[in-house]
Chain A
Amino acid sequence: MKLFLNVEKARIPIKQFMTRGIMGIDKNETIKNACKKMIEFGISSLAVLENEKIVGFLTKKDIIDGIAKGFSVDEKIKKIMSKNLVFCDSSVPIEEVLNIMANFQVRHILIKEKGEFIGIFSLKDIIDLQKFNLETQISSD
């Protein structure tokens, strides 16, 4: 991923790149409903909530893995969610955040500020920007 960033950009805190606000879903909702909500909001991850507190994380990949393992779409998401939350503080430079994400092999990371979850960063955010160069060429044909 480092290829995408120049040295100057790499020092910028993740605060600059993250999305403020996190979409959450109750842990007792079904896998099917989680899929519907991901489509509705155009996102590929959801924070999993218990009494409005984040207790897990669910990505498209968790769902595909779950289905492949034989879980039915009517089962509860708490069965397939990741219980280990990967997060960092909002002041960490993006270069370091990308390292953390690579080490944990995740595509999404939760962002904390003053001890509270405030946002999320996804690799897709960077890829979307990079795609632009390519698309400009395609569209000018």
Chain B
Amino acid sequence: MKIAHISDTHFPHIIKESFDRTVEMINNSDVDFVIHTGDLVDRGYLREYEEAIKAFSMVKKPIIFVPGNHDGKNVGLKLFENLIGPLSGVKEGKDYVILYLNSVIPDMNEGRISNSSFLWLKEKLRKYIDKRIKIVSFHHHLVPVPNTGRERNVLFNSGDVIDILIKYGVNLVLSGHKHYPNIYQLEDLLIVNAGTMCSVKTRLGDKNSFNIIEIDDKIRVKTLRMDEIRERVYTRKKERIYNVESEKLFRIVQIAGTFIDETDIFNKKMFLNAFKKIEELNPDFIVHCGDIVNEGLIKNYALASKYFNLPIFFVPGPRDINYLGYNLFPKYFGLKERHITKKVAFKFLNSSQYDSDVGVVGRGQLNKIKQFSRNLSEFKIVVLHHNLLPIENTREKGLLEDAGDVLYELTRLKIDLVLTGHSSHPSARKIEDTLIVNANSLSCKKQRSLFGNSFNVIDVYKDFIYVSEIQSLSGSRHVLGIWKRK
């Protein structure tokens, strides 16, 4: 099966040469159909829709149109439904299914898979569970895209969407929105963002582009910029059985969100039980991913310093640096930059800004990560508070404002492990060759996991990484995942 994946045409602001050339390439190719991942028009006006329909009548292949945020401006989704087609639907073939849905919040740039759409998606994924190829498409990007500036408008609930797509074994997600072509493999899910096919609005002086996706036992994605072609081939991972005899290299205990203070938001019993268990586990390293105290006050810092008797690496969360915390954190916990041994190297980042939940790594620290990646340790770890990938059960507000670029660099540099501690929900996902693990709150009453307050244990073996979550209160352990090492 071959699909042409186009996006973000933004009629009427098009570069006609790009449009005509892409249509010609599609018409002369052997693609089975075309999928347009939204922003067909720029302002949702009738005139724009009419112009787009006329232009697309030149395409000689069947097209699926997915609505985008620009299509929904000025009540444009009604026009979309009347003139273009349904906002969501199913295209089914012998061994494949394509589910496309509306992620638009009218007059907003941000996206959301609404509650009813989410249930619809779940129901369809269950119905088509035996299809060999499962493709899902919506306009907004699912994970942060590089070179797109401030990363504040992925889907509100992309964490939940990612979770369900991975659990149901979806092969491919097709999106647009950011006008920059990008491909990530997240576990077995291939996330493909198309650039803009013909709009003047490109980023970085980039050229217009579209994707040709060929699916057989592998997935081949070709990005065709007007004068160059890039191709990447993906296969699903096969390794499923891991031999327990593999040599154990080291153990990390990852904690976050202790929220120490004198009020009952800090659950002392959880904290003490968790640390009893941590001592039993005898880790080589303990890493605290931030939000040590509830607020950055002297009394909280003084209290917290009595609670930590084991050697721990700390990075600050926004809670730690508000009020006086900005001055107190280095004094009480030290702001270590890195810890390097032959076996393992840690790079610690401060991603928190005071009086803001939004994190930032910034170009300075990003350059330091590049330097760090050149050290000769066998296993490289980057630690920060904020999330790089959306986390299930939370709105995507925990992301960094430069998550797109940071995620791109960390995966490009093949950092083995990234530890984060925002959003109070555990998560472990491998993106490209980098495993990203988020820790739940260890002892804060406000947490979001059904498993309860918890921390993570990350065991690195010669052949695989074994990540489990441990309940703070009872010490029960369950596996978050096992990943083969590269």
**Given A19-B479, A131-B474; A46-B244 close (CB under 8 Å):** yes
Q: Within the complex, which residue of B240, B245, B471, B478 is in contact with A135, where a contact is CB–CB below 8 Å? A: B471
Chain B residues contacting A71 (CB-CB under 8 Å) are none
Chain B residues contacting A42 (CB-CB under 8 Å) are 468, 477-479
Interface status of B379 (Cβ within 8 A of chain A): no
Interface status of A129 (Cβ within 8 A of chain B): yes
Measuring CB to CB, which residues of chain A are less than 8 angstroms from any residue of chain B?
11-13, 15-16, 19-26, 29, 37, 40-43, 46-47, 49, 52, 54, 90-91, 113, 116-119, 124-125, 128-129, 131-132, 135-136, 138-139
Considering residues A29, A90, A128, which has the most beta carbons from chain B within 10 angstroms of its beta carbon? A128
Bound together, the chains give a CA A119 to CA B166 distance in angstroms of: 14
- In the assembled complex, 25 residue pairs joining A and B whose CB atoms fall closer than 8 Å, in A order, are A12-B126, A13-B168, A15-B168, A16-B167, A19-B479, A20-B240, A20-B482, A21-B240, A22-B240, A25-B243, A26-B243, A37-B244, A40-B248, A42-B468, A43-B479, A52-B243, A116-B240, A125-B478, A128-B476, A128-B478, A129-B450, A129-B451, A131-B476, A135-B452, A138-B473
8 additional A-B residue pairs with CB within 8 Å, beyond A12-B126, A23-B244: A16-B168, A24-B243, A41-B466, A41-B468, A41-B479, A116-B240, A117-B241, A131-B474
Chain B residues contacting A91 (CB-CB under 8 Å) are 129-130
Interface residues of chain A: helix, strand, loop or mixed (majority) = mixed
| Contact residues, B434-486 vs A (CB, 8 A) | 450-453, 459, 466, 468, 471, 473-474, 476-479, 481-482
**Contact B241 A139, beta carbon cutoff 8 Å:** no
**Contact A52 B241, beta carbon cutoff 8 Å:** yes
Bound together, the chains give a CA A46 to CA B459 distance in angstroms of: 18
**Contact A11 B245, beta carbon cutoff 8 Å:** no
**Contact A132 B451, beta carbon cutoff 8 Å:** yes
Chain A residues contacting B240 (CB-CB under 8 Å) are 20-22, 116-119
Instruction: Give the bracket for the number of chain B residues in contact with chain A.
Output: 20 to 34
Chain A residues contacting B89 (CB-CB under 8 Å) are none
**Contact A135 B473, beta carbon cutoff 8 Å:** yes
Bound together, the chains give a CA A20 to CA B130 distance in angstroms of: 18
Bound together, the chains give a CA A128 to CA B482 distance in angstroms of: 19
Interface status of B242 (Cβ within 8 A of chain A): yes
Chain A residues contacting B287 (CB-CB under 8 Å) are none
Chain B residues contacting A26 (CB-CB under 8 Å) are 243, 245
Query: How far is the CB of B81 from the nearest CB of chain A, in Å?
Result: 30
Q: Within the complex, which residue of A49, A90, A117, A139 is in contact with B270, where a contact is CB–CB below 8 Å? A: A139
Bound together, the chains give a CA A25 to CA B243 distance in angstroms of: 6
Bound together, the chains give a CA A47 to CA B478 distance in angstroms of: 17
Q: Within the complex, which residue of A11, A22, A139 is in contact with B269, where a contact is CB–CB below 8 Å? A: A139
**Contact B473 A41, beta carbon cutoff 8 Å:** no
Q: Within the complex, which residue of B168, B248, B476, B482 is in contact with A23, where a contact is CB–CB below 8 Å? A: B482
Query: How far is the CB of B467 from the nearest CB of chain A, in Å?
Result: 10
Query: How far is the CB of A44 from the nearest CB of chain B, in Å?
Result: 10
Bound together, the chains give a CA A54 to CA B242 distance in angstroms of: 11
Bound together, the chains give a CA A131 to CA B459 distance in angstroms of: 25
Bound together, the chains give a CA A26 to CA B199 distance in angstroms of: 59
**Given A13-B126, A43-B479, A91-B130; A135-B474 close (CB under 8 Å):** yes
Q: Pick the 8 closest A-B CB pairs, nearest first.
A: A21-B482, A42-B477, A37-B244, A91-B129, A24-B241, A118-B240, A16-B167, A19-B479
Chain A residues contacting B466 (CB-CB under 8 Å) are 41
Bound together, the chains give a CA A91 to CA B258 distance in angstroms of: 39
Query: How far is the CB of B313 from the nearest CB of chain A, in Å?
Result: 23
Bound together, the chains give a CA A26 to CA B241 distance in angstroms of: 12
Bound together, the chains give a CA A10 to CA B324 distance in angstroms of: 51
**Contact B129 A41, beta carbon cutoff 8 Å:** no
**Contact B243 A49, beta carbon cutoff 8 Å:** yes
Chain B residues contacting A37 (CB-CB under 8 Å) are 244
Bound together, the chains give a CA A135 to CA B452 distance in angstroms of: 8
Interface status of B267 (Cβ within 8 A of chain A): yes
Chain A residues contacting B267 (CB-CB under 8 Å) are 139
Query: How far is the CB of A53 from the nearest CB of chain B, in Å?
Result: 9
